[in-house]
Structure 1
């Protein structure tokens, strides 16, 4: 049996039926999975056939020896010699010799049988060792050669004699050597692949760590990018709004510059006029953009207003807390340009505008006191300085309605 990279075994059956049927009967094993079955079948039958050969030497034949044909018929056997017929002692000797020969044959037969059994045991032990080695090597080969699924099936015929079995052993040893060499090569390849795998695993770990770091950086950058995009969008919106505001403010600035230029021109003209008017308003007090004349005599409300008109002015109209404070600081009762002579309770200024705000009525005023003797009502308004008499109601709430025919000081106002 030959063992190489591609192995095929044949099942060999030994028969001893007759001289014509002696020989080999072969049976092809179709695939590699029956490889061990071929070997076990042959080896298991071999000791039994050797025992039969030892027990029946006449039926043991060599498989490779051609059939010798039918054995010759035994010829007539020579009879016993004349000496054996002569007396009983010779018969006894012959019987003893025959018994000795028979015992010798039996001993020889037993010796041959024992030798055959020992030989068979020796061959079985050797076969078992070879089978164990072969199984181990085959298992290692199967583990190392997973990628090899099929092997070329080639099996040579097995001979039935010891020489074929010896050759089979040598072939198994050669196969064991080859498989061992292949195993060593595969182990070397496996070692190299393991080293490369470890290097690749290390590289994979490093690359995975770098990937995670890059993912974290990418996430942070994405978040920062989104934040910057939001900021950029807001800044763009603000920029557009600022551009619009700037355009509007630029337009307003130009308009204000124009207005400022015009106002500057008007201011210069007013200054000129003011210098001219100041010389004409001797005895008048300037506060803000108005000149005020405070009388030194007392008249009723109508005569006081007429005096103001004669001076090119009119009774004072209070438009701000500052102006009210100015009048309170005079610390005397004076007529102002506020009356409800047209409609009772509907006070209007002398320029025709209704009283809205500010309002500086003192206490329960206006009360249009009807209990005043000879009074038809209080329709004109005066500054009634109450601090000396009513400390709980200090300025600026100093307005009071009073009869228009009462005499009072008055204050004229002329706008610049």
Structure 2
């Protein structure tokens, strides 16, 4: 806003008051007839009629123009004053000093002032809108650039996807070919499976029949073994002599007879076989007897087991084992092996590899050594 010095401000106020006074109607001195003293001096008449007509024409032409210029100057002056007063904030002073103006002129001035203020507000609002639009334009330009960049990236991705689609399509064709071949192989496998199922059913039938026949064979084998043992017992009784000798197939050692079998039985059946022959499984009481028995080889049952109590080793006559020196390395197994069945009974055989004892399952099949006193055959 333009600033004025105090002297300039005072001059403007005087000029404003003068202008308002001239524009306002003079109610105190209404117009009336002018006296001769106040009348202007009469002008001299032109000498010629032509000069008079020319002057009249000039007056007629210039008078409207002068009036229009005067009115325009007055309007511009008023607008300028209003603008200056609005900027300097002294418009209320104008209202106080212009009390002589007519009510209509005052309303026009107020209306002009209000319009001017409205125009200023609209101008400020338009400026703000222009700034907002400029910011929005800049933002939209940035978004447009980003969208164009994104569009270029999308086009690149689209081309990549098209290439990948072509590759996948080719792979799909190859997979379809492999799938068709796999279906053919599956059909062949199904047919083979059906054939194998039929063969398996027939094999199971034959196996069941064979199992039944095998059960019959085992039963017959058990009967034959018992008959053989009975026959051997009878032969031993027949072949007994009275000269401290042993029966046929028995060997004499220090007052005892020993029978080394050639057939294979479990420990229980071996025990019963020896009893049926008039003796018992061998009880080893001396080192000389151990050496004599092991000279015939290994894999023979002897009369030592823990059948009465796990880990309690006893002989056939229920006497406990007193001399454990004939155990092999790591024997007896069931006293040390944590994986050994705690319920399964263990029996003793002469070792295959050395002249010691080994523990095995009582259900195993081995040869046997039967023992009897030589005097018992008398």
TM range, normalised to the smaller chain? 0.3 to 0.5
TM-score by length of 1: 0.30
Q: Give the number of the structure whose residues are more often helix, by fraction.
A: 2
TM-score by length of 2: 0.33
